[in-house]
Amino acid sequence: MGSATEHTFAPPVMEARRWLEGVTFLADRPLINVSQAAPVDLPPEQMRAAMADIIVNEPQAHLYGPVIGLPELRAEVATQWSAAYGASLTADNVAITSGCNQAFAAAISAIAQSGDEVLLPAPWYFNHKMWLDMASVTALAIPTDAQLLPDPEATRALITERTRAISLVTPNNPAGVEYPPELVLAFFKLAQETGIKLIIDETYRDFHSQTGAPHGLFQQADWDQTLIHLYSFSKAFRLTGHRVGALISSPDLLAEAEKFLDTVAICPNQIGQFSALWGLRNLTEWLAGERFEILARRATIEAEMPALAAKGWTLKGCGAYFAYLEHPFEMASDVLAQKLVEEASILALPGTMFMPENEVAGQQHLRIAFANVDATGIAELFTRLKALRFSLAPPRAGK
Cis peptide before 350 (omega within 30 of 0): no
| Cβ atoms of residues 168 and 184 within 8 Å | yes
Task: Give pLDDT, residue 143.
Answer: 94
Amino acid at 381: L
Give the domain ranges of the chain: 5-42+295-386, 45-284
For residue 260, pLDDT beyond 80: yes
Per residue in 195-208, pLDDT (tens digit) is 999 999 999 999 99
* Dist CA 110 CA 119 (whole Å): 16
Between CA 391 and CA 352, with CA 340 as vertex, the angle to 5 degrees is 85
Task: Give pLDDT, residue 39.
Answer: 87
Which one-letter DSSP state was computed for residue 95? Answer: E
Give the distance from CA 368 to its chain's centroid: 13
Task: Give pLDDT, residue 393.
Answer: 67
Task: Give pLDDT, residue 358.
Answer: 82
Report the Cα–Cα distance between both ends of the chain, in Å, rounded: 44
| Cβ atoms of residues 355 and 122 within 8 Å | yes
CATH topology of domain 5-42+295-386: Aspartate Aminotransferase, domain 1 (3.90.1150)
Question: Residue 104 to residues 47, 129, 326: CA-CA distances in angstroms?
Answer: 27, 11, 29
CATH topology of domain 45-284: Aspartate Aminotransferase; domain 2 (3.40.640)
Residue 188: name the closest of 228, 149, 227, 231 by CA.
227
For residue 399, pLDDT beyond 60: no
Per residue in 309-351, pLDDT (tens digit) is 999 999 999 999 999 999 999 999 999 999 999 999 999 999 9
For residue 396, pLDDT beyond 80: no
pTM of the model: 0.95
Exposed, middle or buried: residue 235 (CB in 10 Å: 0-12, 13-18, 19+)?
Answer: buried
* Dist CA 180 CA 167 (whole Å): 15
Per residue in 279-319, pLDDT (tens digit) is 999 999 999 999 999 999 999 999 999 999 999 999 999 99
| Cβ atoms of residues 165 and 199 within 8 Å | yes
Strands 349-350 and 322-326: unpaired
| Cβ atoms of residues 235 and 204 within 8 Å | yes
User: With b meaning 16 or more CB within 10 Å and e meaning fewer, what string describes 174-201?
Assistant: bbbbbbebebbbbbbebbbeeebbbbbb
For residue 364, pLDDT beyond 60: yes
